[in-house]
Amino acid sequence: MPKSQHRAVVTGSTSGIGLAVATALAGRGIDVMLNGFGEPEAIRALVETIGRDHGVRCLHSPADMSKPAEIAAMIQEAEDKLGSVDILVNNAGIQRVSPIEDFPIDAWDAILAINLSSAFHTIRAAVPGMKRRGWGRIINTASAHSLVASPFKAAYVAAKHGLTGLTKTVALELATSGVTANCISPGYVWTPLVEKQIPDTMKARNLTREQVINDVVLAAQPTKQFVTVEQVAATALFLCSNEAAQITGANIVMDGGWTAA
């Protein structure tokens, strides 16, 4: 694959959907900055593998997406070391399942900060460069929960609904600048984020693990199948293409029919 003139930052890309998106972008010859948490040795191996396999520059930023100053510094570092941020994928996210009356206040604050406010901060920092160059792609990983709610997920549902509002606003502001802004809204994808919420869902709904997987998770999706990280990554690649230049302010839903019901 020839080197692309574009460079990308993908937040929350040390596992799950973000890692698949970052790997797919690297597969198109795009230099990429990973971000997210993990074992230092595992992250070093990821960076090396992606860089070597795809012949691109791959970096990692440990910036905490709940900390505005670290977010701004990450975008600056990407611009300094990669040369630009042309593709920005806001993907970092966490989840908490709890009845509203017990919902921990620190979990509410963290989910709103990481799943919503971080996108405001990255976009704010990356847009001046995109406008100057007259090209940019902002892709925000929302969720089927940007359109519908589920019990016990107050903060996540609120954050994902908010993310679509932010995305539409930015799309309108940037409409004539060559920069598009869109959401991708997957249904359930089998990742650590889903795995981690199973015990709390069992408790909140008084169900077994199997019942949660079959009667809550898969039951939400008429196709009765998980969305895959590769399917989400393929959609992100399409949104980065010039063929997708007129798609802006959209929420691309890939949820096995969940929100059609």
Q: Does 91 bind ligand NAD (CB under 6 A)?
A: yes
Q: Does 15 bind ligand NAD (CB under 6 A)?
A: yes
How many positions of this chain bind ligand NAD (CB under 6 A)? 28
Q: Left (φ > 0), alpha (ψ -120 to 50) or beta: where does 16 sit?
A: left
Residue from the set 94, 155, 233, 252 that interacts with ligand NAD by CB under 6 A: 94
The one-letter amino acid at 96 = R
Residues 48-67 that bind ligand NAD (CB under 6 A): 64-66
User: Does 223 participate in binding ligand NAD (rule CB under 6 A)?
Assistant: no
**CB 199, min distance to ligand NAD, A:** 15
Q: Work out whether 136 is an interface residue with ligand NAD (CB under 6 A).
A: no
The catalytic site residues sit at: 156
Q: Which is nearer to ligand NAD, 134 or 192 (by Cβ)?
A: 192
For position 162 contacting ligand NAD by CB under 6 A, the verdict is no
Taking CB under 6 A as the criterion, the residue among 104, 192, 199, 257 binding ligand NAD is: 192
Nearer to ligand NAD, 135 or 240 (CB): 240
Q: Which of 17, 89, 130, 213 binds ligand NAD (CB under 6 A)?
A: 17
State the minimum distance, in angstroms, from the CB of residue 195 to ligand NAD. 8
Site stretch for ligand NAD (CB under 6 A), options 1-9, 75-83, 90-98, 101-109: 90-98
* 193 makes contact with ligand NAD (CB under 6 A): yes
Q: Please select the residue that binds ligand NAD; options are 25, 28, 36, 201, rule is CB under 6 A.
A: 36
With beta carbons less than 8 A apart as the criterion, state whether 30 and 50 touch. no
According to the binding rule CB under 6 A, does residue 157 interact with ligand NAD? no
CB 242 within 8 A of CB 248: no
Is the CB of 16 or the CB of 162 nearer to ligand NAD? 16
Non-local (6+) Cβ contacts of 12 within 8 A are 18, 35, 36, 65, 91, 92, 93, 141
256 binds ligand NAD (CB under 6 A): no
Close Cβ partners of 246 (under 8 Å, ≥ 6 residues apart): none
Which value, in Å, is the radius of gyration of the alpha carbons in the chain?
18
Give alpha helix (H) positions in the chain: 16-27, 40-54, 68-82, 105-112, 118-133, 154-173, 192-205, 209-211, 229-240
Do the beta carbons of residue 154 and residue 103 sit within 8 Å? Answer: yes
Q: How is residue 61 annotated by DSSP?
A: E
| Neighbouring residues of 74: CB distance < 8 A, sequence distance ≥ 6 | 9, 33, 35, 61, 63, 122
Residues that bind ligand NAD (CB under 6 A): 12-18, 35-37, 64-66, 91-94, 114-115, 141, 143, 186, 188-189, 191-194
